[in-house]
Amino acid sequence: MGKNSESLFQRAQEVIPGGVNSPVRAFRGVGGTPPFIDMALGSRVFDADNLQYIDCVGSWGPMILGHCHRYVVEAVKKAATRGFSFGAPTAAEIEIAEMIVQAVPSMEMVRLVNSGTEATMSALRLARAATGRNTIMKFDGGYHGHVDSLLVKAGSGGATFNLPDSAGVPKEVTALTLSVPYNDLKAVREAMTDDVAAIIVEPVAGNMGCIPPQPGFLQGLREICDEKGSLLILDEVMTGFRVAYGGAQALYDIKPDITTLGKIIGGGMPIGAYGASRKLMELVSPLGPMYQAGTLSGNPLAVASGRATLSVLRNSSIYDDLEERTSEFEEGVRKAAEKHGVPITFNRVGSMWTLFFTEGPVTDFESANQSNREKFARFFHLMLSEGVYLPPSQLEAAFFSAAHAKKDILQLIERADRVLKKVAWEYST
């Protein structure tokens, strides 16, 4: 790593826990010093040592148009000249809410918040208010933000023993959370109780790496919820407007009771949202008894960035292009791994993907954890030295953007081929 990033990391650790403001950025999953990013443009990020990388992280999903998209930048600049925050209603809030409900029919009304964590926290409260029940069911490896009651077997955070995944979370809180294997309807049925207010699920898992739902899994959850009088919450913070314009629920033809969104709807600015039928959302204050509020909710800059991003996505062929390019990358990496004799599993839904260092298949948290972390770490650092910025964890999804041109994909395949050859040689001796 460059001298400037090394120096900045040492300096950061004096005043910021671990030197980072979100744990995965500290590179504990791969070792070494993280590059400190100075700027980004299109498909590239540039670090404090002026080294550039093809970006396969995309700020963990929001940057579907690429960095500094002209239309988004202009929208934010224009909004900034009118004020940063009002703490009052704005016309722009209505416009982005209208765009969301038009794209996601299950969301007849939507409430804007400041993060995906706030969105899922509010969704749980709404489910409990609507059903009068207390228990929540989630899936091993599913991450839904750092909500106390959901920090159980929470994906890349590394839970194992049905205990809280974080100090400071009382066992009494997580006692109201059931966690079962992803893609396992039998386990869901066996664990269901009459006190389950909701099942919350990432329709495509992203925090145990990218793991698609098995055929019939989401529909099975819908049926179980209907049978038991529980609500189905789709956490589309990662998949919303990523795998399709209408999210995973459009891609898989599934109608949840409550949806959470984030990431892309802010175009890189902090934002979140939750929504449901009009009947459910009328339980939310000031209409109903479920209280939820936020000083910066509906922030004008975040709303401007989100509106601009959704406008571009709505009026373009971006999803077809992303599918074509990511598919080409997948095919190239598979061929390279086979050529060099490196066992891998490549999981993908649209432009969301993970390269697992295991023969697979990878269908849940347990099988994801069979991956060879040592090989992944070596692959990661060799790719970084080749100018490719990947998620620094085997259990995180990677993303492409509309700014990733065909030449970027060809360069990525070429570099992955060289790196896999090195990995194969190093682990054969």
- What's the order of all strands across the beta sheet hosting 388-389? 37-41, 44-47, 52-55, 388-389
**Maximum Cα–Cα distance for the chain, whole Å?**
67
Classify the C-alpha dihedral 318-324-328-330 as positive or negative: positive
**Does the annotation count 375 as an active-site position?**
no
Selecting among 138, 153, 263, 375, the annotated active-site residue is 263
Six-digit token pair at 82? 């009118």
How many other CB atoms are found less than 10 A from the CB of residue 102?
A: 13
**Does the annotation count 3 as an active-site position?**
no
How would DSSP label each residue in 335-378?
HHHHHHT---EEEEETTEEEEESSSS---SHHHHTTS-HHHHHH
Instruction: Give the whole-angstrom CA distance, residue 128 versus residue 132.
Output: 5
Which residue pairs, CB below 8 angstroms and at least 24 apart, start in 323-331?
323/350, 323/351, 325/351, 325/400, 325/404, 325/406, 325/409, 326/350, 326/351, 326/353, 326/400, 328/406, 328/409, 328/413, 329/353, 329/400, 329/409, 329/412, 329/413
Residue type, 147: V
Selecting among 53, 143, 319, 389, the annotated active-site residue is 143
Selecting among 235, 257, 364, 408, the annotated active-site residue is 235
| 237 contact partners, CB below 8 Å, separation of at least 6 | 116, 119, 120, 144, 145, 260, 261, 262, 263, 272
Which residue pairs, CB below 8 angstroms and at least 24 apart, start in 366-369?
366/140, 366/181, 368/141, 368/208, 368/209, 368/211, 368/394, 368/395, 369/208, 369/395
How many other CB atoms are found less than 10 A from the CB of residue 317?
A: 9
**Which positions are catalytic?**
143, 235, 263
